[in-house]
């Protein structure tokens, strides 16, 4: 996969509406960074390094409770961002970020990014439009937890995480995916097995590390609570 700065930026959903001179300014400041699996990218309370865009691999963003229990907030896949709110608001990172697999990220460093926001009103307007879509995305996450059952949450996650080839690359630890969906590991495994038995998903070459979507229409019905009773 091509992971140069321009290609990663062009594939970023949050910055999809940024174009022209504004996009060129972001390309000029961007730094490509590569992380081995298990590398801590930043810790809760750190000064924000800037806006990160995942180009390849997977990044786990999580909180740690006083008892030491981890709760996964996001599994950030290619095209998605993290630390963007802290970088724009200029406040400490609210969570931890760790490479869940070998990962390549693009960093828009905090200082030049903040300078661009102060100096370029067109960039600010373009970002406002992008953030409106991002808020809508997070409303969907809240709906998942409050309105969807286990099968609906899993189906929605798979539909959103699938690449153009219809394959979802799973995190190395299924418990991370379960935490992200507010499910137990046992419930997640049981739901994936039922979706497989229904013929809606499968594993390419028999590997458990990837899931292929076999019936997007039925998965969409399950996501909406209209599909098979799982």
Domain residue spans of the chain: 5-142, 149-223
Distance, CA of 157 to CA of 29 (rounded, Å): 32
Distance, CA of 151 to CA of 223 (rounded, Å): 7
The answer to whether the CB of 84 falls within 8 A of the CB of 108 is: no
149-223 has which fold? Arc Repressor Mutant, subunit A (1.10.10)
* Residue position matching structure tokens 């935490």: 179
Higher pLDDT, 78 or 130: 78
Phi/psi of residue 41, each to 5°? -80, -45
- What is the model's pTM? 0.67
List, for residues 118-175, the tens digit of each pLDDT value: 998 888 887 777 676 666 666 666 666 566 788 888 898 888 888 778 888 776 567 7
The answer to whether the CB of 77 falls within 8 A of the CB of 53 is: no
CATH architecture of the domain with residue range 5-142: Sandwich (2.60)
């Amino acid at each position: 996969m091509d992971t140069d700065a321009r290609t990663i930026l062009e594939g970023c959903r949050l910055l999809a509406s940024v174009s022209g001179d504004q996009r060129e300014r972001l390309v000029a400041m961007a730094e490509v960074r590569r992380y081995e699996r298990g590398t801590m990218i930043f810790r809760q309370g750190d000064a924000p390094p800037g806006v990160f865009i995942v180009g390849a691999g997977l990044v786990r963003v999580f909180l740690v409770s006083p008892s030491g229990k981890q709760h996964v907030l996001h599994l950030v896949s290619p095209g998605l961002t993290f630390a963007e709110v802290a970088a724009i608001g200029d406040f400490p990172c609210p969570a931890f970020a760790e490479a869940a697999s070998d990962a390549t990220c693009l960093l828009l460093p905090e200082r030049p990014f903040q300078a661009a926001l102060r100096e370029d009103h067109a960039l600010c307007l373009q970002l406002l439009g992008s953030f409106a879509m991002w808020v809508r995305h997070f409303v969907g996450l809240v709906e998942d937890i409050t309105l969807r059952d286990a099968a609906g949450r899993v189906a929605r996650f798979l539909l959103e995480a699938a690449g153009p080839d219809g394959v979802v690359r799973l995190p190395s630890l299924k418990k991370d995916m379960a935490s992200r969906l507010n499910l137990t590991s046992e419930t997640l495994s049981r739901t994936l097995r039922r979706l497989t038995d229904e013929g809606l998903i499968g594993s390419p070459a028999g590997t458990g590390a990837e899931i292929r979507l076999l019936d997007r229409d039925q998965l969409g019905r399950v996501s909406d609570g209209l599909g098979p009773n799982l």
